Amino acid sequence: MKRIYLDYAATTPVAPEVMAAMRPYFSRVFGNAGSLHSFGQEASAAIFCARQTIARALGCSYKEIIFTGSATEANNLALRGVLGSTKSEIRNPKDRESRPRIIVSAIEHGSVLETARDLERDGVEVVYVPVNREGIVDVGAIRAALNERTVLVSVQYANNEIGTIQPIQEISKIVKDFRDQIRNYPLFHVDAVQAFQYMPCRVDELGCDFLTLSAHKIYGPKGVGLLYISRKLNVESRMEKMKQPFHLPPSTFHLSPIITGGHQEFGLRAGTENTPYIAGFAKAVGIVEKMRKRELSRIKKLRDYFWGKLQQIFPQVQLNGSPTCPSARRLPNILNVYFPGRPTGDFLIALDVAGVAASPGSACQAHVAEESYVVRALGYSSERASQSVRFTLGRSTTKIDLDRVLRIVKNIFYGK
């Protein structure tokens, strides 16, 4: 039985071209990029090329790319790093009114939400901004939450469970209009992990100061991510204007490292660089850039076909998140569907037994099909949040596959 994978938002297979790009760096070109000799220089050159390829795709300088071990780490670096660098500037744990504030949306990935909660335990004030029924963040609530203590706003580009796309440019404008010219805060972080496959992520157009990507969501290897860090905010000019002693982070970035040790990644992420994975990441980015438009329209058609048929088979189904109509703000590959009366876990097991891999939402929750906090955040009942399934399409998905999945769903509901 050929299995059908409809969980591309959880992870993707490594593309053959990506495998080929990584292979030399496991054995033949194995040097430590930090070594001075020719072996090290070869590795260092490969990382430099990868940085440049990715920088071109993001429309930034290669010096603004920091490779990490995952997007989770990159998100941690953005949140904890900004808070770390502002410590001596505005932080005084004894005074509640001088607590730094960060603003995040209520449907961020766990790597942002759990980090925010952890920072909250450390005395940081966190504002969780709600979303509407379609999963679009309340921009007015972001504006209202900004104050002079706000150091960071973090909003994802597209949601991993429901695919809703956020109005990043609008949020960026609000943040920048508020930004204090002296302190250069608040900063704006965008988690673009799910968006990059289908949406161009040029940082100048998005207007963000930080942006997170992950290789394994775009047919690259697991275990490598990156954080774009804008160099536009100039620490020196900030210091000059403040005319007071300032705790300088070890680099000229407005962010401190969370992993210390060596001086890799411009002093912001210690640890020997993973040359093969970084080379693979860049190859994956290059491929996405080439096929994005074509794949977007192909996947959109397949998604609309699948959704239309699903509604015919089971008229009670409802979509979680924004509608699939052309003007909708949603990624083309994610369909999060409410199947009334069908507990997520039971349904997923029945699908799996029949050879179809789908998911309850985020992969991190997959071993326990808990109710989805994202579906709950849309204002739906706990029942709906525990009777919803996420189907995500990808490069290998065909209409033939989807027809088979539809037959399987029909059998699960109505028997043979």
Starting at the edge strand that comes first in sequence, how are the strands of the sheet with 334-338 ordered? Answer: 318-319, 334-338, 388-392
Q: How far is the CB of 72 from ligand PLP (least distance, A)?
A: 3
User: Is 320 among the residues that bind ligand PLP (CB under 6 A)?
Assistant: no
User: Is 71 among the residues that bind ligand PLP (CB under 6 A)?
Assistant: yes
User: Is 359 among the residues that bind ligand PLP (CB under 6 A)?
Assistant: no
Active site residue 201: no
Q: Structure tokens of 109?
A: 């990935």
Main-chain dihedrals φ then ψ at residue 391, nearest 5 degrees: -105, 130
User: Is 184 among the residues that bind ligand PLP (CB under 6 A)?
Assistant: no
Nearest to 310 by CA among 414, 177, 194, 405: 405
User: Is 44 among the residues that bind ligand PLP (CB under 6 A)?
Assistant: no
Closest to ligand PLP by CB, 12 or 184: 12
User: Is 164 among the residues that bind ligand PLP (CB under 6 A)?
Assistant: no
DSSP one-letter string for 200-254: ---HHHHT-SEEEEEGGGTTS-SS-EEEEE---S-HHHHHHHHTS-----SSSSS
User: Is 194 among the residues that bind ligand PLP (CB under 6 A)?
Assistant: yes
Site string for ligand PLP, 104-123 (x = CB under 6 A): -----x-x------------
Long-range contact pairs involving 247-254 (C-beta distance under 8 Å, separation at least 24): 247/85, 247/87, 247/88, 247/89, 249/84, 249/85, 253/85, 253/229, 254/82, 254/85, 254/184, 254/187
The residues in 73-92 that bind ligand PLP, with binding defined as CB under 6 A, are 75
Cα–Cα distance for residue pair 338/233, rounded to 1 Å: 44
Element (H, E) at 45: helix 38-58
Site string for ligand PLP, 222-261 (x = CB under 6 A): ---x------------------------------------
C-alpha Rg value of the chain to the nearest Å: 22
User: Is 70 among the residues that bind ligand PLP (CB under 6 A)?
Assistant: yes
Main-chain dihedrals φ then ψ at residue 222, nearest 5 degrees: -75, 150
Closest to ligand PLP by CB, 21 or 192: 192
Active-site residue, selected from the candidate residues 49, 208, 325, 364: 364
User: Is 392 among the residues that bind ligand PLP (CB under 6 A)?
Assistant: no
Q: Which one of residues 191, 209, 273, 371 is an interface residue with ligand PLP (CB under 6 A)?
A: 191
User: Is 7 among the residues that bind ligand PLP (CB under 6 A)?
Assistant: no
Q: What type of residue sits at position 393?
A: L
Element (H, E) at 75: helix 71-90
Stretch that binds ligand PLP, among 71-79, 98-106, 173-181, 269-277 (CB under 6 A): 71-79
Binding footprint of ligand PLP on the chain (CB under 6 A): 70-72, 75, 109, 111, 156, 160, 191, 193-194, 214, 225, 362-363
Residues recognised as catalytic: 364
